[in-house]
């Protein structure tokens, strides 16, 4: 029923050489594409401009001759371009390694999979921790506001650069799902199909509220220094608390019960304020770990971007427009951060506009994390959906229609 938690991959590896397994894309390398150079800055939705823009990206599998087999995998809040395989000399498999590889949901024997780090991020793409060419220092809060539409606009430049006219599929979970929807809204003619997972047309006030508390937690830390902390180090305490809040919302009541119940770390109450329960220790670990790998300002910018996101009403498909993008919409029963009703809203909107849309709610207990760990059922659904999309596309091409 489930795959592996990210980071747990190597615990159950029995082969000695990762590249030798059939199910991995093996050793991969991050690539970089820079555009919007000086004088050609990119106009953002806010009206501000940004440039030059670098996108970190990885690709897996081979692009076919007519460039019809390209899939864009879209990452969530804290993800990056490293979606599958491993980097040389390192042992952390990509964030969707269970889903991308030979014979997997996004089968690299058949498809060419691309994943790029979003702008605003901190994993190689231009973001608030990047050097501002105007000052020679990190942008910090001088970084312009970015929206999900801006992220997708940047990805479109990368897809142009790779010479791909039309993507076979765009897919991702959570904010990755929002980007998938935004691709359809911005460039419907360039997207053959979309698989938005555990996502929403717009953030509800509860989702905005959680993000705002996360931002306030970071900004309440004096070490944040109004965003100018780069020479001093991260606002560790605030960022750690922010991530702890996040982790509660990523899991479900039931998955926490199954994983931790009320087990104590040391077998008895401490009658003190150090963590007593295993669940507390887990959150501390997750918080402390996050501080080492993610830029606090990026967290602020990205959470704000998806609070602003809203493709409800006629914004996904403008009035009078007909689109032929096929959809597979997936949600998870125990996901209370992006509840199924939000996925059903996407499907309702698509059906009303006569779009070919399939919906499936999976019975996972993993909460929002399920899009990363519920591998088996997602694989069945996605394999079948892509198969139908890909063959249909090829047939059309073959007969020149």
Active site residues: 174, 335, 368
Residue among 279 and 357 whose Cβ is closer to a copy of itself: 279
**Three-class secondary structure assignment of 69-86:** CEEEEECCCCCCCCCCCE
CB-based burial of residue 245 (10 Å sphere; 0-12 exposed, 13-18 middle, 19+ buried)? Answer: middle
- Asked if residues 111 and 382 have their Cβ atoms less than 8 Å apart, the reply is no
**288 binding a copy of itself? (CB under 8 A):** no
Helix (H, G, I), strand (E, B) or coil at 205: helix
Helix (H, G, I), strand (E, B) or coil at 218: helix
**210 binding a copy of itself? (CB under 8 A):** yes
Report residue 5: phi and psi, to 5°: -65, 145
**359 binding a copy of itself? (CB under 8 A):** no
| d(C-alpha 254, C-alpha 248), whole Å | 12
Parallel, antiparallel, or unpaired: how do β-strands 70-74 and 357-362 relate?
A: unpaired
Report residue 181: phi and psi, to 5°: -65, -40
Q: Which of 8, 37, 142, 257 binds a copy of itself (CB under 8 A)?
A: 257
CB of 307 to a copy of itself, least distance (A): 7
Q: What is the DSSP string of 335-374?
A: -SSS-HHHHHHHHHHHHHTT--EEEEEE--SSGGGHHHH-
**368 binding a copy of itself? (CB under 8 A):** no
Residues 6+ away with beta carbon under 8 Å from 219: 238, 300
Using CB under 8 A as the binding rule, the residues of this chain from 291 to 320 that contact a copy of itself are 300, 304, 307-308, 310
Q: Which of 26, 33, 51, 212 binds a copy of itself (CB under 8 A)?
A: 212
Q: Which of 19, 206, 289, 391 binds a copy of itself (CB under 8 A)?
A: 206
The residue range among 29-37, 158-166, 182-190, 220-228 that interacts with a copy of itself, by the rule CB under 8 A, is 220-228
The residue range among 6-14, 70-78, 267-275, 368-376 that interacts with a copy of itself, by the rule CB under 8 A, is 267-275
**178 binding a copy of itself? (CB under 8 A):** no
Helix (H, G, I), strand (E, B) or coil at 172: strand
Q: Which of 11, 38, 88, 262 binds a copy of itself (CB under 8 A)?
A: 262
CB atoms within 10 A of CB 152: 25
Size of the site for a copy of itself (CB under 8 A): 57
Q: Residue 213 CA to chain centroid, in angstroms? A: 21
Using CB under 8 A as the binding rule, the residues of this chain from 141 to 160 that contact a copy of itself are 141, 145
* Residue 310 DSSP class: B
CB of 51 to a copy of itself, least distance (A): 18
**205 binding a copy of itself? (CB under 8 A):** yes
Q: Which of 129, 171, 174, 240 binds a copy of itself (CB under 8 A)?
A: 240
Find residue 331's DSSP bridge partners: 361
**383 binding a copy of itself? (CB under 8 A):** no
**222 binding a copy of itself? (CB under 8 A):** yes
| d(C-alpha 97, C-alpha 85), whole Å | 6
**396 binding a copy of itself? (CB under 8 A):** no
Residue among 101 and 144 whose Cβ is closer to a copy of itself: 144
The residue range among 92-100, 187-195, 237-245, 388-396 that interacts with a copy of itself, by the rule CB under 8 A, is 237-245
The residue range among 52-60, 259-267, 354-362, 392-400 that interacts with a copy of itself, by the rule CB under 8 A, is 259-267
Give CA torsion, residues 190, 195, 196, 201, to 10 deg: 50
CB of 102 to a copy of itself, least distance (A): 38
CB of 38 to a copy of itself, least distance (A): 23
Q: What is the DSSP string of 261-292?
A: TT-BSSSS--SSSS--BHHHHHHHHHHHHHHH
**256 binding a copy of itself? (CB under 8 A):** yes
User: Which residues of this protein are in contact with a copy of itself, per CB under 8 A?
Assistant: 46, 48, 141, 145, 202-206, 208-210, 212-213, 215-217, 219-222, 237-238, 240-241, 244-245, 247-248, 251, 253, 256-257, 259-262, 269, 271-273, 275-280, 283-284, 287, 300, 304, 307-308, 310, 336, 339
């Amino acid at each position: 029923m489930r795959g592996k938690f990210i980071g747990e991959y190597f615990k159950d590896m029995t082969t000695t050489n990762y590249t030798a397994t059939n199910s991995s894309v093996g050793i991969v390398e991050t690539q970089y594409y820079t555009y919007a150079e000086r004088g050609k800055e990119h106009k953002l939705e806010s009206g501000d401009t940004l440039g030059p823009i670098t996108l970190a990206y990885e690709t897996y599998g081979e692009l076919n001759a007519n460039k019809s087999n390209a899939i864009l995998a879209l990452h969530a809040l804290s993800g990056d371009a490293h979606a599958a395989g491993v980097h040389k000399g390192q042992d952390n498999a990509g964030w969707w390694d269970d889903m991308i590889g030979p014979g997997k949901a996004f089968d690299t024997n058949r498809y060419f999979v691309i994943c790029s780090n979003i702008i605003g991020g901190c994993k190689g793409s231009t973001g608030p921790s990047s050097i501002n060419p105007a000052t020679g220092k990190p942008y910090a809060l001088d970084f312009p506001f970015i929206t999900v539409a801006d992220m997708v606009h940047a990805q479109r430049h990368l897809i142009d650069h790779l010479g791909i006219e039309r993507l076979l599929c765009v897919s991702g979970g959570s904010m990755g799902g929002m980007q998938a929807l935004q691709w359809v809204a911005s460039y419907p003619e360039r997207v053959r199909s979309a698989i938005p997972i555990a996502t929403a047309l717009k953030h509800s006030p509860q989702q905005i509220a959680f993000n705002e508390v996360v931002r306030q937690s970071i900004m309440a830390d004096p070490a944040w220094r109004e965003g100018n902390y780069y020479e001093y180090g991260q606002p560790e305490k605030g960022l750690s608390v922010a991530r702890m809040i996040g982790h509660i919302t990523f899991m479900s009541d039931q998955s926490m019960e199954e994983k931790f119940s009320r087990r104590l770390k040391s077998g008895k109450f401490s009658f003190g304020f150090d963590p007593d329960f295993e669940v507390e220790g887990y959150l501390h670990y997750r918080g402390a770990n996050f501080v080492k790998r993610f830029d606090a300002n990026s967290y602020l910018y990205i959470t704000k971007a998806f609070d602003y996101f809203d493709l409800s009403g006629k914004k996904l498909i403008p009035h009078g427009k007909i689109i032929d993008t096929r959809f597979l919409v997936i949600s998870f029963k125990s996901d209370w951060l992006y509840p199924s009703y939000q996925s059903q809203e996407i499907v309702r909107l698509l059906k009303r506009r006569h779009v070919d849309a399939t919906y499936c709610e999976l019975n996972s207990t993993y909460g929002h994390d399920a899009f990363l760990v519920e591998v088996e059922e997602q694989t069945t659904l996605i394999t079948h959906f892509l198969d139908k999309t890909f063959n249909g596309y090829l047939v059309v091409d073959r007969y020149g229609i």
